[in-house]
């Protein structure tokens, strides 16, 4: 029987370096003999595409609608993650339920957010990349990324505070300083995985 894989999640505000670090970790895992795959939220599925379209829209979507859509996308995503875990893969996910709880908390109660996200697979470890929101915005500008809903410096600051508060309540969430060089951040992520006996 195939040994179950591990679900590793990278979280943080937009511009924190999640995608870069998630892909870097997948490459490192593969190099060291692990079966690994990168995935992200919103997904590229039907619901995920609708979410991304709404986030880029001039007409701002209703917050509650967005959070329900995120949760629905996540439910489908969980099915895909489960298939890979059963095959022994290390699934490195760029955003997951913590994003829903942090961003969703701007206008929705935590109890409701947890309810609509009920039944998803819990990560084996989550790494939160904590970055100065102004640095995050500069990074996105440098990459010529369009500032969508939730990406203003003020909003990112509020979301970061919520991320940190949520991290304090969960021992499986490791906070890493994402303001530093990529290699230093990567090494701290690996330390978190070692601490959880994942590598």
Whether 30 is in a domain gets the answer yes
In a domain, 1, yes or no: no
| Residue 120 located in a structural domain | yes
- CA 196 – CA 124 distance, rounded (Å): 8
Q: What's the pLDDT tens digit per position in 55-114?
A: 887 676 788 888 999 999 999 999 999 999 999 999 999 999 999 999 998 888 889 999
Domain for residue 13, yes or no? yes
Residue 175 near residue 12, CB atoms below 8 Å: no
In a domain, 42, yes or no: yes
Report angle CA 77, 82, 84 to the nearest 5 degrees.
Answer: 100
Residue 154 lies in a domain: yes
CATH number of the domain at 75, please: 3.40.50.300
Q: Tell whether 191 is covered by a domain.
A: yes
Is residue 56, in this structure, part of any structural domain at all? Answer: yes
**Residue 84 and residue 5 in contact, taking contact as beta carbons nearer than 8 Å:** yes
- The total of structural domains in the chain comes to 1
Predicted pLDDT of residue 150:
59
Tens-place pLDDT, residues 116-151: 999 899 999 999 999 999 999 999 888 766 555 556
**Residues of the domain holding 93:** 6-195
Q: Mean pLDDT across the stretch 20-27? A: 98
């Amino acid at each position: 029987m195939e040994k179950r894989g591990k679900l590793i999640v990278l979280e943080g505000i937009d511009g924190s370096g999640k995608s870069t670090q998630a892909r870097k970790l997948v490459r490192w895992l593969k190099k060291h003999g692990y079966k690994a795959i990168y995935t992200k939220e919103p997904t590229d599925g039907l619901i995920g595409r609708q979410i991304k379209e709404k986030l880029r829209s001039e007409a701002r979507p209703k917050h509650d609608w967005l959070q329900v859509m995120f949760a629905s996308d996540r439910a489908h995503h969980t099915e895909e993650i489960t298939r890979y875990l059963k095959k022994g893969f290390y699934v490195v996910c760029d955003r997951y339920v913590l994003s829903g709880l942090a961003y969703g908390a701007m206008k929705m109660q935590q109890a409701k957010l947890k309810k609509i996200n009920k039944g998803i697979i819990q990560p084996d470890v989550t790494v939160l990349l904590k970055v100065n929101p102004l640095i995050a915005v500069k990074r996105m500008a440098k990459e010529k990324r369009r500032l969508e809903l939730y990406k203003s410096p003020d909003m990112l600051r509020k979301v970061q505070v919520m991320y940190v508060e949520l991290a304090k309540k969960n021992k499986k969430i490791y906070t890493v300083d994402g303001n530093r060089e990529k290699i230093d951040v990567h090494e701290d992520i690996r330390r978190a995985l070692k601490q959880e006996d994942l590598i």
